[in-house]
Amino acid sequence: MNNSGPRDVPAFGEDSAATDDALAALHAALAAATPPQAGVLRQAMDALAEARQRMTEAQDRYAALFNAVPDPVSILSAEGVVLDVNRAGILAYDRPRDAIVGQPIELLNPDLPSDHLQPVWEALNRGDTYVIEVTNMRGDGSRFPVEVHSAGFQDHGEPCIVAVARDLSGRWRAESRYRLLMESIDKGVILFDRDLRVLSANPAAHRILGVNGNGHGSGFNALLDPEAWLIVDENGNTLTPAQWPTNRCFQAGRVIRSTIIGLYHRPRGRMLWLSTTNVPVFGTGCDQADHVYSMFSDITELKRNNTLFARAQSLAHIGGWEWDRGLQRLYLTDEARRIVGQPLDMNDMPDLLDCLRSDDRVALQQALADTIEHRSSFGLELQGQRRDGHSFWIRMIGEVSTGDVDAARIAGTVQDITERKQAEETLRVQARTDPLTGIMNRDAVLNDLGVRMGSPGHDRVAVLYIDLDRFKVVNDLLGHNAGDELLIEATRRIATAIGTEGLLARFGGDEFLVICDVHDQPDQAEQLAERITAAFSSPFQLGSDEFPVTASIGIAVAPRDGDRPQQLIQNADTAMYECKRRTRNGWQVFSPELAQRQNDRLQIESRLHKALDGDEFRLVYQPQISLRSGATIGCEALMRWHNTQLGQMRPDLFIRHAEHTGDIVRIGQWALREACRQVRQWQDDGLGTLRVAVNVSWRQFVGEDLARWVRQVLDEFGLPGTALELEFTERVLIEDAPDTLRTFARLREMGVMLTIDDFGEGYSALNYLRRLPIHGLKLSQLFVEGIPRNRSDVAVCEAVCAIARSLGLGVVAEGVETEAQRQCLLGLGVTVGQGFLFAPGLPPDEFERRLRGRQPPPPPL
């Protein structure tokens, strides 16, 4: 088709000129016409004028419409010559109408290919509209993008084209901004079609996925061989194609946000971690997405750091948290979640607070409030419970981030300290527990009592001090295992007796404490004491032996009997001693009289302590007499104490005190040395070698080398061992001195005579008698007193004599006061005795006089 020159066709609007010509011709004909002809002509002229009028109106309408269209509209001939152009076209192309009309269309569309009309006519002949994006050119040569919609019509039987051009400059600007954005952002953006073909991909997508390409999908489509890729979720689980976020987006037709996926490219052996958001794109009127924009960032580094960080967290048992107060969100790292053992629904601070112990909940709330108020930080150790019921201990640290003026976010760490706390707890329990019986120990009960007595409302508290009677006998006779068994059984019995009404603790060897509240029931302590006593009524089965063991209980009630733990326990102890002294196997409530007695005791004990240095002791000597001949064959040294304030004190009393305080050890050493000094002096004074019996307390066997001391004293005064006799009570046998037997053996080796004093009064542990290297027994005056009238006393004396005889031991009778007793004793085979019948304890000079035969007559009975 030739587009080079204007085509000779009438311009649009030229039809009206033809009508005007016809009208002028009719006017000329009218002038020469006959009247009848003139009538016809006039009719024709009127019709013509009317037709002309209508045409003018139609042309005006067309022109108004044509020019009202805001987009450039051109009318083209079939060959592409511009027949008309509207006002918008004249403005857009910036050329006068005359410079356009009659020109080939290439004037306006310089970039059209030479055969561009062919596809146009093909479309128009099908009855379609032809649309094309082209570039138009203005009169000054500048260009602008247009989208041209072309349609065909007939004009005077000739096919014509009406072309409407829409200026795309605005859209192009938007598209170039979009392109710039796509090219510059660091997020990868890929447009997928439904077959998951890549339609476009921005440079970041190329860079992230390592594809060289031109921004279209070709490079990608080669890369996206499904066989080459392994796609996994955040935790490394393989995703099926249906689970790929892009496919899910197509399926669901909605945005799939911030999904973390891992892409492993098998041939390259490369792992990529992406955070991807997929947005569906819907075609007009479609209810299914036909495209998906997949936008993603490379989080491989982040993920690596995260993984390393998570590993470090889990190794250190430290998790992280952040509380966004504004959003009311609590963010916990995986490790933090593991530590508090909560699933994903712990989303705000109250959820965390909920699983804490109530005190700790309050503590954390307070710490958070303080932290917010002062923009500061906190560190707390908190205990809580996991969903599975296990309790946890955490150390929680938190602070407001620097620059956060509103304290809108508090963040910190949470550390699992459960193991440490459990270890501490175990240690604490161990430190509080008596290992043998499993009940509280002394320290724990003292602490507990202190707390109770210190807290208001709990000040009315009672202490029961329990001491087992005869425990030491069991321990000694049956061995430590039996002793342990006894303690365990005793614990069980007491615990059963008190139930939940008291707190039981082991206070010492065979001593227990029970603490109870006496608020609601004033006689609660007595009731418990009664129940405990009853619990000891049946004997204990120890191995094959049955052993009756009882308990002596002292009771003290706060605040009446003391407002401090030590004082209360001390008073309960005093009451217990009183009980033991009076009856054993029972209970005694502390009283002020007991306290008075205690006070006296303290007085005595403190004076006794200083008595040795004050030279307040003396020894008197009671002769030991041959019951047959009346000859003095020895003597017993008996201690006397005179104190200026207390006066003359009874030995049995002050000796007990001295034993209690331990002063007896020094006092006993003094007595031993003094007696030996006296014997030596008598010997030097020519009275011959006399044997002196010295009393030795059980305490001198515990913790002091008695044999060594005896050796030293004998050596000091140059005396043979045979000049000394040691009297000890059966208590020596039942106290737990490890070296008792060895001490006895060494003393015997020295020639020292060993005698059990007051035999029959104590425990009479007969099996000891066989094992001990002793020489004799002293028949207690308790029994001598009753003979010869009291038959049972006679029987006891007979039995003691029989035992002594069978073991080859000598017997000395104590407290011989009457001639009848002397006779009776002689009848029983006892040949030595001491007593007021012969003489009381005598000062040394008196004793000496008596020895020299110048003694005064015995006092009247």
Other Cβ atoms less than 10 A from the Cβ of 214: the count is: 10
**Rounded distance between C-alpha atoms, residue 656 and residue 734, angstroms:** 17
Site for ligand C2E contains 758 (CB under 6 A): yes
By C-beta, is 638 or 747 nearer to ligand C2E? 638
The residue from 215, 651, 721, 810 that contacts ligand C2E (CB under 6 A) is 651
Min dist CB 670 to ligand C2E, Å, is 9
Site for Mg ion contains 725 (CB under 5 A): no
Min dist CB 574 to ligand C2E, Å, is 23
Q: How many residues bind Mg ion (CB under 5 A)?
A: 5
**Rounded distance between C-alpha atoms, residue 565 and residue 542, angstroms:** 35
Both tokens assigned to 66:
């044509």
Site for ligand C2E contains 697 (CB under 6 A): yes
Site for ligand C2E contains 360 (CB under 6 A): no
Please state whether beta strands 511-517 and 617-626 pair in parallel, antiparallel, or not at all (unpaired): unpaired
Site for Mg ion contains 727 (CB under 5 A): yes
Other Cβ atoms less than 10 A from the Cβ of 681: the count is: 13
The residue from 83, 503, 576, 638 that contacts ligand C2E (CB under 6 A) is 638
Residue pair 553/466 in contact (Cβ under 8 Å)? The answer is yes
- Residue 297 touches which member of ligand C2E, Mg ion, none, C-beta under 5-8 Å by kind: none
Distances (CA, A) of 256 to 213, 226, 731: 27, 21, 92
Beta bridge partners of 134: 146
Residue pair 779/800 in contact (Cβ under 8 Å)? The answer is yes
Site for Mg ion contains 814 (CB under 5 A): yes
Which letter does DSSP use for residue 515 in this model? E
By C-beta, is 558 or 784 nearer to ligand C2E? 784
By C-beta, is 269 or 647 nearer to ligand C2E? 647
- Residue 676 touches which member of Mg ion, ligand C2E, none, C-beta under 5-8 Å by kind: none
Residue with tokens 């303290």: 602
Sequence-ordered strand ranges (E) for 226-303: 229-233, 256-265, 270-282, 289-298
Q: Please, what sign has the CA dihedral across residues 541, 543, 546, 552?
A: negative
Both tokens assigned to 726:
């040691």
Site for Mg ion contains 695 (CB under 5 A): yes
Both tokens assigned to 307:
């993984």
By C-beta, is 86 or 781 nearer to ligand C2E? 781
**Widest Cα–Cα separation across the chain:** 218
Residue pair 622/834 in contact (Cβ under 8 Å)? The answer is yes
Site for ligand C2E contains 679 (CB under 6 A): no
Preceding amide of 788 cis, omega within 30: yes
The residue from 416, 476, 674, 757 that contacts Mg ion (CB under 5 A) is 757
- Residue 817 touches which member of ligand C2E, Mg ion, none, C-beta under 5-8 Å by kind: ligand C2E
Residue pair 779/814 in contact (Cβ under 8 Å)? The answer is yes
Distances (CA, A) of 17 to 30, 84, 509: 20, 17, 143
Site for ligand C2E contains 301 (CB under 6 A): no
Stretch 774-813: interaction string toward ligand C2E, x if CB under 6 A: -------x--------------------------------
Q: Please, what sign has the CA dihedral across residues 558, 563, 564, 567?
A: negative
Stretch 258-297: interaction string toward ligand C2E, x if CB under 6 A: ----------------------------------------
- Residue 475 touches which member of ligand C2E, Mg ion, none, C-beta under 5-8 Å by kind: none
Which residues, numbered 75-104, are part of the site for Mg ion (CB under 5 A)?
none
Stretch 810-839: interaction string toward ligand C2E, x if CB under 6 A: ----xxxx----------------xxx---
- Give φ, ψ of 231 to 5 degrees: -110, 130
By C-beta, is 517 or 727 nearer to ligand C2E? 727
**Candidate ranges 203-211, 221-229, 688-696, 744-752; the one touching Mg ion (CB under 5 A):** 688-696
Which residues, numbered 384-423, are part of the site for ligand C2E (CB under 6 A)?
none
Min dist CB 701 to ligand C2E, Å, is 11
At 391, which amino acid appears? S
By C-beta, is 349 or 637 nearer to ligand C2E? 637
Min dist CB 782 to Mg ion, Å, is 9
The residue from 102, 634, 833, 841 that contacts ligand C2E (CB under 6 A) is 841
Preceding amide of 559 cis, omega within 30: yes
Site for Mg ion contains 729 (CB under 5 A): no
Both tokens assigned to 489:
């059984």
- In sequence order, the 6+-apart residues with CB closer than 8 A to the CB of 411 are 320, 321, 322, 323, 398, 399, 401
**Rounded distance between C-alpha atoms, residue 725 and residue 723, angstroms:** 7
Three-state secondary structure along 374-429? Answer: HCCEEEEEEEEECCCCCEEEEEEEEEECCCCCCCCEEEEEEEECHHHHHHHHHHHH
**Candidate ranges 111-119, 122-130, 668-676, 753-761; the one touching Mg ion (CB under 5 A):** 753-761
**Rounded distance between C-alpha atoms, residue 155 and residue 584, angstroms:** 142
- List, as one string, the DSSP characters of 688-703: ----EEEEE-GGGTSS
The residue from 84, 573, 757, 793 that contacts ligand C2E (CB under 6 A) is 757
Min dist CB 604 to ligand C2E, Å, is 15
By C-beta, is 195 or 615 nearer to ligand C2E? 615
Site for ligand C2E contains 622 (CB under 6 A): yes
**Rounded distance between C-alpha atoms, residue 303 and residue 858, angstroms:** 112
Stretch 87-106: interaction string toward ligand C2E, x if CB under 6 A: --------------------
Burial class (CB in 10 A: 0-12, 13-18, 19+), 121: middle
Burial class (CB in 10 A: 0-12, 13-18, 19+), 344: exposed
The residue from 639, 724, 732, 756 that contacts ligand C2E (CB under 6 A) is 639
By C-beta, is 469 or 727 nearer to ligand C2E? 727
- Residue 355 touches which member of Mg ion, ligand C2E, none, C-beta under 5-8 Å by kind: none
By C-beta, is 74 or 834 nearer to ligand C2E? 834
Which residues, numbered 446-465, are part of the site for ligand C2E (CB under 6 A)?
none
The residue from 668, 760, 776, 833 that contacts ligand C2E (CB under 6 A) is 668
Q: Would you tell me which residues interact with ligand C2E (CB under 6 A)?
A: 622, 638-639, 650-652, 655, 668, 671, 695-697, 727, 757-758, 781, 814-817, 834-836, 840-841
Q: Would you tell me which residues interact with Mg ion (CB under 5 A)?
A: 695, 727, 757-758, 814
